Amino acid sequence: MRIYKFLIIFLLFISSCDNDISIPNIFEAKVIGIKDGDTVEVLYEKHPIIIRLSDIDCPEKKQPYGKKAKKFVSDLIFGKEVKIVSKGKKDRWGRLIATIFINEVNVNKELVKVGLAMHFKKYSKDQSYADIEEIAKKNKVGMWEQENVIEPWNYRKHKKKHNR
C-alpha cells in the first residue's frame, strides 16, 4: 500500500513539472506536419512545435486557394530540415510566430509572391511583404486572378458571426 502512495505522489510530481523546452530564436528543425498554408508542425530536439508563419495570412481551407496554399507549403518543406527565425512570441493559441527558411528561401514571402498568402498588416509592419503582395496583385498571380478576393481575416470574422 505504501508503495502505491509513493508511486501516485511521484507520478503527480512528474506530471506537474514544466515540460516546456527552451527554444532559441533561431534554430533548425524537421517539418513533420502541415496544418494549413500558414501553420506547420516541426520537430525540434524530439519535441513537436507548432509554428504560425509571421507577417502573412493564407486563405482558410474552405476558401478558394486555401488547399493550394497548404499543398504549396507541403511540397516545399514537408519532411525537410528548415531554419526557423522567431522573436520568441506566441499567438493566443500557443503557436510560435516565426519565419521559415528552406535553402535560404523565405517561405513566408514565397507564399505572398505566388499569390497564396496576403500581407497580414494587422500584425506586421514589414513593408517588403506589402510590396511583394502588390506585385502579385498586379500580375494577377494565385488568388489575385479572381475578382473580389475575400481576406482570410474577414472570412473568419464572417464565419464566426454566422456560427453563433
Catalytic site positions:
52, 60, 95
DSSP alpha helix (H) spans, the chain: 2-16, 66-77, 107-113, 127-138, 152-162
Residue 135: CB atoms within 10 Å: 13
Residue 71 phi, psi dihedral angles, 5° rounding: -65, -40
CB neighbours of 137 closer than 8 A, spacing ≥ 6?
Answer: 144
Give CA separation, 82 vs 47, 54, 85, in Å. 15, 15, 10
Give CA separation, 13 vs 68, 72, 160, in Å. 46, 44, 40
CB-CB contact of 122 with 153 (8 Å): yes
